[in-house]
A and B are shown apart, each in its own frame.
Chain A
Amino acid sequence: MFAYQIHKSEEEAIVVFEGDLDIESGEVLEEDILPIVSEYPSVRLNFGEVYFVDSSGIGLIIRTVDELREGGRTVKIENVRPEVMEVFELLQIREILGEDVFE
């Protein structure tokens, strides 16, 4: 199961994910979410309700953040659950995306 909501304000889009992020839900990230949020200068990705991210999901997160940044947006990843953070850390996501992506 995977769902998302986007809360928009003038300067900022907050994407709240819910469910598991894998190859299928990753497509939603790319095709549905990215075009909407790339209109905003600041994007927050809220992972509070994400319980599992697989290797394909990690790849898609990295690409999404890279693409938004290339377009000059600031991106933050927030509320990552401990079990998901372990996978992020194993894959060195802080080193890949930089410390500042996590507040």
Chain B
Amino acid sequence: MSILIVDDSMMNLAYFKQVLSEAGYSGIETASSAEVALERLGMSGERVPRKAAAFDLILLDIVMPDMDGIEACRLIKACPPYADLPIIFLTGDRRHFKEAFGAGGMDFIEKGAPEYELLARVQSAIRLKKETEIRKSREAGLVKELQLAKRVQKTVLPSPLLEPSIEIHAQYIQSDEVSGDMFYWTRIDEHRCGVMLIDVAGHGLSSALISMSVRSLLAGMVKRISEPAEICRELNSQMFSLFGGSRDSIYLTAIYLLIDQEAKEIRYFNAGHPPGLFFQADQKAHYLEKTGVPLGIRKKIEGGSGIYRYESPGKILLYTDGLVETPRKSIREGIGSLEKVASRIRYLPNDRFTEKLAALGQDKNDDVCIVSIQLNE
């Protein structure tokens, strides 16, 4: 506990120091002017100290010959390392109060007030400072943890797939530090690629935990099972056995495409996810919209799966609902306007295409994820 007392009267300094020492406070320092106090705080010559001097409280006289207490208080509170350091004014004159509080003083002690009042005010100021410090350090710790979690989450995302016959790019916009959106792709064999996009209901940490646990299942599942409808059923039963017992309603929507470039065929399942959009050459977008129930809600599901055979190359766009949903507006219209924008820029290189579309999701208050698959001849 360390207290700095600033007063131009030696008698006052001695008095306050004695009262505080007798009450058990140690580490009491005194300064006979505002200038001396600023020097002790490492602030002389308008310097900003790199590290704050270790005081928990300043008792500051108002009327002093050179710089007065109000000006000193203003300077100290404006100095970032001392923004949370409480200052209590010592005064004999109520006329100063308005200005004193305006300068950032937290309390005042009238000279001549009884000792118990002095001690009570000092104690509550110090307690508040300690609590603020604890809260701030907890918050800083949490923010750090979340940033680390964000990096961890990003490391499991695949990097763009760049091959002569196929390119896959994605954009990932998180409304919180971490998100429940997740995408995954892999080459299965010479002709086939699997691409999945999932969106866990809700946002933030709990959704991110769920999406990470699902992510860990995908690689094995996609390699082991080739039929999308079956992956859908398997993923649902895994979700259900992991989270079905929870009191919270945990579910996710997902779309998975198995692209076979030799057979020119896309087999897919869609579990409650917005439809994928396939822009083929110069044709109108085809909606991959055979949809079934989201995963993790029901023990057994039929699953919505479809097959689409295509003639010419093009782009397939997958996205999470954050990109097309505006509260109180029609989501179908949102999908329609996405289709329009995407169609207009469909001939852009694939990476530019996803970047342009990501701009649509920037101002939404939701996680947004965009995956674009460019199929070449």
Task: List, in ascending order, chain A residues with CB within 8 A of B329's CB.
Answer: 83
Please determine whether A91 and B249 come into contact, CB atoms closer than 8 angstroms. no
On whether A58 and B291 interact (CB within 8 A), knowing A20-B327, A83-B329, A90-B272, the answer reads: no
Question: Complex Cα distance A58/B250, Å?
Answer: 11
From B202, B249, B291, B304, give the contact of A63 (CB < 8 A).
Answer: B249
Task: List, in ascending order, chain B residues with CB within 8 A of A52's CB.
Answer: 327-328
Please determine whether A58 and B201 come into contact, CB atoms closer than 8 angstroms. yes
Question: Complex Cα distance A63/B245, Å?
Answer: 12
B251 lies within 8 A of chain A by Cβ: yes
B337 lies within 8 A of chain A by Cβ: no
From A62, A91, A96, give the contact of B253 (CB < 8 A).
Answer: A91
Please determine whether A87 and B272 come into contact, CB atoms closer than 8 angstroms. no
A86 lies within 8 A of chain B by Cβ: yes
Question: Complex Cα distance A91/B301, Å?
Answer: 13
Q: How many residues of A contact B (CB 8 A)?
A: 21
Please determine whether B201 and A55 come into contact, CB atoms closer than 8 angstroms. yes
Please determine whether A92 and B202 come into contact, CB atoms closer than 8 angstroms. no
Interface string of A81-103 (1 = CB under 8 A from B): 01100110011100110000000
Please determine whether B297 and A62 come into contact, CB atoms closer than 8 angstroms. yes
Task: List, in ascending order, chain A residues with CB within 8 A of B249's CB.
Answer: 56, 59-60, 62-63
A23 lies within 8 A of chain B by Cβ: yes
Interface string of B358-370 (1 = CB under 8 A from A): 0000000000000
List the B residue with the shortest CB-CB distance to A91. B272
Interface string of B170-184 (1 = CB under 8 A from A): 000000000000000
Majority SS at the chain B contact face:
loop
Interface string of A21-52 (1 = CB under 8 A from B): 00100000000000000000000000000011
Question: Complex Cα distance A96/B26, Å?
Answer: 68
Please determine whether A86 and B297 come into contact, CB atoms closer than 8 angstroms. no
Most chain B CB neighbours (cut-off 10 Å) among A56, A60, A82:
A56
Task: List, in ascending order, chain A residues with CB within 8 A of B297's CB.
Answer: 59, 62, 96
Interface string of B319-335 (1 = CB under 8 A from A): 00100010111111000
Task: List, in ascending order, chain A residues with CB within 8 A of B298's CB.
Answer: 96
Min C-beta distance of B333 to chain A, whole Å: 9
On whether A90 and B274 interact (CB within 8 A), knowing A60-B249, A62-B249, the answer reads: yes
B76 lies within 8 A of chain A by Cβ: no
Task: List, in ascending order, chain B residues with CB within 8 A of A90's CB.
Answer: 272, 274, 291, 321, 331
Min C-beta distance of B270 to chain A, whole Å: 10
Task: List, in ascending order, chain A residues with CB within 8 A of B291's CB.
Answer: 90, 92
Interface string of B273-313 (1 = CB under 8 A from A): 01000000000000000011110011000101000000000
Question: Complex Cα distance A64/B328, Å?
Answer: 22
Task: List, in ascending order, chain A residues with CB within 8 A of B201's CB.
Answer: 55-56, 58-59
List the B residue with the shortest CB-CB distance to A52. B327
Which residues of A are interface residues toward B (Cβ below 8 A)?
20, 23, 51-52, 54-56, 58-60, 62-63, 82-83, 86-87, 90-92, 95-96
Which residues of B are interface residues toward A (Cβ below 8 A)?
199, 201-202, 248-251, 253, 272, 274, 291-294, 297-298, 302, 304, 321, 325, 327-332
22 contacts between A and B (CB under 8 A): A20-B328, A51-B328, A54-B327, A55-B202, A56-B201, A59-B201, A59-B248, A59-B249, A59-B251, A59-B297, A60-B249, A82-B330, A86-B330, A86-B332, A90-B272, A90-B274, A90-B321, A91-B253, A91-B293, A92-B294, A92-B304, A95-B302
Q: A59-B250, A83-B330, A92-B291 are in contact. List 12 more A-B contacts (CB 8 A).
A: A52-B327, A55-B201, A56-B202, A59-B201, A59-B249, A59-B251, A62-B249, A62-B297, A87-B325, A91-B294, A92-B304, A96-B297
